[in-house]
Amino acid sequence: MANLLELLVTADCNNPLWTASIWDSHIGTNLMTYKGGGTAESKTLSFIGNDYIAAVEKTKPILHIWPLNSHQPVQGMRFILPGKASALSITRDGSYICAGIEEKIYLWQTASGNLLTIISRHYQKVVSLKFTPDGKYFISAAEDGMVMVWSLASVAAHPEIDLVTQSSAGQHDPVHIFSDHSLPVTDLFISKFGMHGRLCTVSSDRTCKIYDLSTGEMLLNLVFDVPLSAVTMDVLELNVFVGSNEGKIYQFSLAHPPRSRDLLINSENGSPVFTLHTKAITCLSVSLDGETLMSGSNDEHVILWHIPSRQPIRTIRHKGPITNGFFTVNLPAIFQSEFCPDIVLHSLERTLEKDSDEATEIEVLINKKISFWPEQNSYEIKEIIQQTETSFMGQEKKWKNEIETLKAVNAKLYAFSINKAIDAVPLVNESIIKKAKKKKNNKKNK
- Indicate the range of 63-77, 213-227, 267-281 predicted with least confidence: 267-281
DSSP state of 349: P
End-to-end alpha carbon distance in the chain: 136
Angle subtended at Cα 249 by Cα 14 and Cα 275, rounded to the nearest 5 degrees: 85
On the question of pLDDT at 96 being above 80, the answer is yes
DSSP 3-state assignment of 364? coil
Average pLDDT over residues 190-211: 94
pLDDT per residue over 37-47, tens digit each? 889 999 899 99
Confidence band for 258, pLDDT divided at 50, 70 and 90: confident
Given a contact cutoff of 8 angstroms between Cβ atoms, the answer to whether 212 and 204 are in contact is no
- Indicate the range of 2-16, 17-31, 229-243 predicted with least confidence: 2-16
pLDDT per residue over 368-389, tens digit each? 555 545 555 555 666 767 777 7
Cα–Cα distance for residue pair 435/445, rounded to 1 Å: 16
Q: Which CATH superfamily is domain 6-335 in?
A: YVTN repeat-like/Quinoprotein amine dehydrogenase (2.130.10.10)
pLDDT at site 412: 86
pLDDT at site 422: 80
Q: Sign of dihedral through CA atoms 368, 374, 379, 381?
A: negative
pLDDT per residue over 111-146, tens digit each? 888 899 999 999 999 999 999 999 999 999 999 999
Average pLDDT over residues 275-300: 93
- For 442, the enclosing helix (H) or strand (E) is helix 378-445
Q: Sign of dihedral through CA atoms 254, 255, 259, 264?
A: negative
316 has which bridge partners?
302
133 closest CA partner among 188, 191, 175 = 191
Domain boundaries, the chain: 6-335, 372-446
Cα–Cα distance for residue pair 37/238, rounded to 1 Å: 37
